[in-house]
Amino acid sequence: MNTFGNIFRFTDFGESHGAAIGGVIDGCPAGLTIDFLAIQHDLDRRAGRDSQFSVSERAKHEADKVEFLSGIYDGITLGTPIAFIIWNTDAKPEDYEAISDIYRPGHADFTYQAKYGIRDPRGGGRASARETAARVVAGSIAKQILSKKGIGINAIVTQVGNETEPENFPTLLSDIKQKGDSIGGIVSCTVSGLPIGIGEPVFDKLHARLAYAIMSINACKGFEYGSGFDGIDKCGSQLNSYSGGALGGISDGTDFCFRCVFKPTPSISQEQHLPDGSQLTIHGRHDVCVALRAPVIVEAMTALTLVDLICLNDR
């Protein structure tokens, strides 16, 4: 359940304010020289340390430094499981004591408690977006594997609220931030250089596996590829020439293009009314728009999916 993939497999663990988060990559080919700087670069992209709209108080103080425990010898993969951890050095459980018995609106506090009968109340525990840092490490290695095959993945934010002009994003974000509110966004991703034949009929279609991967990212509410929902007013005679990158679920040699939407972060500074009539104010700084930090996670999940499907196709 916490393992992603069939042949190139990534197992992910860790609570937001536990000792550490991390993962195990199994099925990584032997002989790959790991680019550790590229991994750190991706972790930094996710942390969004440069942005006034996405940096959290924690990210400011805690650099995500990954430590590899196995599977790599002299910088080269052994073909054995690659385990890694990121210590939660800035864990501040006391910040969450005040709200440990409150189910925050739009968060998973309630459903975890109901499902397991117990939960780690510190910062969302396992449901925290901090978990995605481990995905980024694994995804960064997957991107290195793909890069050697000439496959590129590029994800960017193409919409914030109703705004589609990137130069206008800051204005809108400042406005939302000032109100103590949050806003959604859309990330667009293009995969180039994918060989023909990737994807498996009938359940493991390329786009079905990608939809699963992307929708598993926190706050993601929708996925579409090719003509997507916007193609609804087009006829067959107009769309037959645009596949979006796959036919019958199998890559066709054109760029694979998809979009996904992220809801506004539910943690907002505004006072919120709870179902029981009480009121809640969540302190600390929070992301104005989680979509801003999503591209590197979208790339990671895309890369993990593609490496696994390529392994399956090449068997």
Binding test (CB under 8 A) with a copy of itself, winner from 147, 231, 255, 285:
231
Asked if residues 273 and 196 have their Cβ atoms less than 8 Å apart, the reply is: no
Q: Does 261 bind a copy of itself (CB under 8 A)?
A: yes
Binding test (CB under 8 A) with a copy of itself, winner from 41, 65, 69, 90:
69
Q: Among the candidate windows 40-48, 55-63, 149-157, 259-267, which touches a copy of itself by CB under 8 A?
A: 259-267
Which residues share a beta bridge with 273?
279
The minimum distance between CB 11 and a copy of itself, in angstroms, equals 5
**What own/partner pairs with CB < 8 Å and gap ≥ 24 does 40-43 have?**
40/65, 40/66, 42/136, 42/137, 42/139, 42/140, 42/143, 42/296, 42/299, 42/300, 43/133, 43/136, 43/137, 43/140
Q: Does 229 bind a copy of itself (CB under 8 A)?
A: yes
Q: Which of residues 163-182 bind a copy of itself (CB under 8 A)?
A: 176, 179, 181-182
Q: Which of residues 18-37 bind a copy of itself (CB under 8 A)?
A: 18-22, 24, 26-27, 30-31
Closer residue to a copy of itself (CB): 236 or 277 = 236
Q: What is the rounded distance in angstroms from the CA atom of residue 126 to the CA atom of residue 108?
A: 9
User: What character string, x for contact with a copy of itself (CB under 8 A) and - otherwise, covers 198-217?
Assistant: --xxxxxx-xxx-xxxxxx-
The minimum distance between CB 262 and a copy of itself, in angstroms, equals 9
The minimum distance between CB 270 and a copy of itself, in angstroms, equals 5
Q: Does 111 bind a copy of itself (CB under 8 A)?
A: yes
Token couple for 65 = 């430094």
Q: Using only the alpha carbons of the chain, give its radius of gyration.
A: 20
Closer residue to a copy of itself (CB): 35 or 204 = 204
The minimum distance between CB 194 and a copy of itself, in angstroms, equals 12
Report how many residues bind a copy of itself under the rule CB under 8 A. Answer: 125
- DSSP annotation of 34 reads P
Q: Which residue has the tokens 């990534």?
A: 10
Q: Does 98 bind a copy of itself (CB under 8 A)?
A: no
The minimum distance between CB 99 and a copy of itself, in angstroms, equals 15
What angle (nearest 5°) sits at the alpha carbon of residue 194, between those of residues 40 and 314? 95
Q: What is the rounded distance in angstroms from the CA atom of residue 234 to the CA atom of residue 256?
A: 20
Q: Does 251 bind a copy of itself (CB under 8 A)?
A: yes
Q: What is the rounded distance in angstroms from the CA atom of residue 171 to the CA atom of residue 180?
A: 15
Token couple for 297 = 């996670």
